[in-house]
Chains A and B, each alone.
Chain A
């Protein structure tokens, strides 16, 4: 056997096809392409929404028309043609399924391929699944157990009908309709998503989990997620996804809003593995997401994310620390390979007194990718004794990728304490040789080094997710060292 050289690695990296690149043909109910007021109305009608919701959407659409796409991010791409996208697609507009037997067998086969079959998931103790395939929830499990505690976990469409008072009060309260271009678009056309409400003093007994998938050629995906943790409650929410391989770009513009009322805690974890495009940088998902949480008094929100997919990522899960003594955390691993571009980070807005925030960001760049951390720490005049600690580490593989850090700090209170640490390192040939000499081949050595680098963040993920995330890191970086 000949030596495994750097060139071999490069070659393998280039030919490595996306593992989950397949396409499931499920008979779909899809709108014609284009966007106008009628389409917005039609989406609302299709979903049987009340008038207030239709109007809310129309308001958003009106704002969106006046807005411009943001261009400040450190990414370059061909802007999507918003009139060439179909804004609604549902796998067969049947009513919801009561059991797995009723679910399209082809869909189940897809899940089996991904290794996340519902059967398996159902058996996984402590994990309830709300599976979102192409915008419509097809199965919800563990609903009963949750129901006994008064926990509501359902699709946002269902929540609009069944719990209008909660949705009306909180939707758009953290991410307003005209917050930004993509949030406005999402507000106008969101197709579905998840809704979760944890009543006062209730500790959610299981990790709530949603798998998102994009599965319809040319269909934009506009998920809307709303999580409300009432006073003194706790919930851990997991979100993860994979998508089929395809040639044309797919736009994804989700909005996630978290509300943690007094003394509540929300832990929101994401593993994102959307199709990143092929080795030439063709295709791949555009991921323009707005995620934000609001903390009331003594509340805590933790965002943990492992981002390995998408051609373009534009994502800044943020915390508004409104209440005194509230805590915001952001733990992130962002991996880019080939021609992927990621501009991701967080905003920690300190409004209340004694508020604390922690940012740990680990960026890993390989191939010809560009990986940027962009973060804002803002201390308002009233936020006495606010604390922030930020750590941004970059790991580079090869000589053709880039890592960038854009930390912004705005402190308007003299008592603020802000710390920022940043490192950049490269996987060295000496490290690889050291591992090789101990019998560990180069692939495994990279996985080991990357996992070590990412450990601080991986440790924050719930157990079952951490394993999946480690696997993803390995898949994403297979054969990429220079």
Chain B
């Protein structure tokens, strides 16, 4: 589904990703771990198509298509979703209105009619139940005055609504207490299928107790320096990142 080859990217002429290779197939869950500043969030932004990041070398292939020249919204239309580490506030725009716009813009891009209001309401009801979201929450302004947990839950709610092929969860666990973490993880697990894939970006192993990865990659200094199964996450939790750094620097 996603194939990243020798990806180099920089922002403001500062090189951050220095040759990433990663392949994700449908039905898989991958986790990317690494110390702060290793380039985890940059990787997420580059795949999603944030403009400030410049791809200097390498390629991102999504379902056989090089997506480098696609705008962020076109990548979204093709089924790439990013759950933001810091979701922004949009005052005066309700969660429902935002989702309605997002879904209909995506449908428009695919040459489909707008979703009938009845179907939209049904979908909203279904997905909000899945994520144990109070319906009143949906009429509030997007992320305005939301707690950390509410913001993250709202991100996963949007993911549920948009049903992406590839979901990138950028530090979704940060700012969550244990109950919220469980709800969010349950949501992600329920949405998982053999046709979609999840890329979890996290600093800690905690989230991976709930969303169990098939593969764990360690990102350090702009490169994937180690890959393994879920046990690698436990090892990192136990020993920290220093031994990885030593291994790389040796």
Size bracket, chain A contacts = 20 to 34
Residue of B with least CB distance to A436: B72
Contact of A448 with B162 in the complex, beta carbons under 8 Å: no
Q: 1/0 per position for B78-116, CB-CB distance to A under 8 A?
A: 000110100110111100011001110110010000000
Complex Cα distance, B88 from A45, in Å, reads: 63
Q: Which of A3, A429, A431, A437 contacts B69 (CB 8 A)?
A: A3
- A31: shortest Cβ distance to chain B, in Å? 48
**Known contacts being A2-B69, A452-B92, A455-B92, is A439 close to B49, with CB within 8 Å?**
no
Which residues 434-473 of A have a CB within 8 angstroms of B?
434-442, 444, 448-449, 451-456
- B168: shortest Cβ distance to chain A, in Å? 10
Query: What A residues does B73 contact at CB under 8 A?
Result: 435-442
Q: Which of B69, B84, B87, B92 contacts A453 (CB 8 A)?
A: B92
Pairs of residues from A and B, 9 with the lowest C-beta to C-beta distance, nearest first: A452-B92, A436-B72, A452-B93, A439-B76, A438-B102, A439-B106, A455-B92, A436-B73, A434-B88
Query: What A residues does B90 contact at CB under 8 A?
Result: 431, 434-435, 448-449, 452
Q: Does B123 contact A (CB under 8 A)?
A: no
Query: What B residues does A38 contact at CB under 8 A?
Result: none
Number of A-B contacts defined by CB within 8 Å = 85
Contact of B72 with A433 in the complex, beta carbons under 8 Å: yes
Contact of B105 with A444 in the complex, beta carbons under 8 Å: yes
Contact of A1 with B109 in the complex, beta carbons under 8 Å: no
Q: Which of B52, B76, B93 contacts A437 (CB 8 A)?
A: B76
Residue of B with least CB distance to A395: B91
**Known contacts being A1-B69, A1-B74, is A439 close to B93, with CB within 8 Å?**
no
Q: Does B206 contact A (CB under 8 A)?
A: no
Contact of A1 with B71 in the complex, beta carbons under 8 Å: yes
Complex Cα distance, B108 from A439, in Å, reads: 10
Residue of B with least CB distance to A431: B88
Q: Does B226 contact A (CB under 8 A)?
A: no
Q: Which of A1, A429, A438, A444 contacts B158 (CB 8 A)?
A: A438
Q: Does B77 contact A (CB under 8 A)?
A: yes
**Known contacts being A431-B90, A448-B90, A452-B93, is A5 close to B105, with CB within 8 Å?**
no
Q: Given contacts A451-B93, A452-B93, list 10 more A-B pairs with CB under 8 A.
A: A428-B88, A434-B88, A435-B102, A436-B73, A438-B105, A439-B103, A439-B105, A444-B105, A448-B97, A448-B101
Q: Which of A437, A451, A455 gathers the greatest number of chain B CB atoms within 10 Å?
A: A437
Contact of A1 with B70 in the complex, beta carbons under 8 Å: yes
| Interface majority SS (helix, strand, loop, mixed), chain A | helix
- B191: shortest Cβ distance to chain A, in Å? 16
Interface residues of B (CB under 8 A from A): 48-52, 69-74, 76-77, 81-82, 84, 87-88, 90-93, 97-98, 101-103, 105-106, 109, 141, 158, 162
Contact of B50 with A448 in the complex, beta carbons under 8 Å: no
Residue of A with least CB distance to B93: A452
Contact of B92 with A440 in the complex, beta carbons under 8 Å: no
Contact of B93 with A436 in the complex, beta carbons under 8 Å: no
Query: What A residues does B98 contact at CB under 8 A?
Result: 438, 448
- B66: shortest Cβ distance to chain A, in Å? 13
Query: What A residues does B102 contact at CB under 8 A?
Result: 435, 438-440
Complex Cα distance, B105 from A274, in Å, reads: 31
Residue of B with least CB distance to A434: B88
**Known contacts being A439-B109, A448-B101, is A4 close to B71, with CB within 8 Å?**
yes
Residue of A with least CB distance to B75: A437
Contact of B51 with A5 in the complex, beta carbons under 8 Å: yes
Contact of A440 with B101 in the complex, beta carbons under 8 Å: yes
Query: What B residues does A439 contact at CB under 8 A?
Result: 73, 76-77, 102-103, 105-106, 109, 162
**Known contacts being A1-B74, A2-B69, A439-B76, is A453 close to B106, with CB within 8 Å?**
no
Query: What A residues does B69 contact at CB under 8 A?
Result: 1-3
Complex Cα distance, B88 from A429, in Å, reads: 10
Contact of B91 with A453 in the complex, beta carbons under 8 Å: yes
Q: Does A430 contact B (CB under 8 A)?
A: yes
Complex Cα distance, B90 from A5, in Å, reads: 21
- A361: shortest Cβ distance to chain B, in Å? 15
**Known contacts being A1-B71, A2-B69, A3-B51, is A436 close to B76, with CB within 8 Å?**
yes
- B41: shortest Cβ distance to chain A, in Å? 13
Query: What A residues does B76 contact at CB under 8 A?
Result: 436-439
Contact of B48 with A441 in the complex, beta carbons under 8 Å: no
Complex Cα distance, B88 from A454, in Å, reads: 18
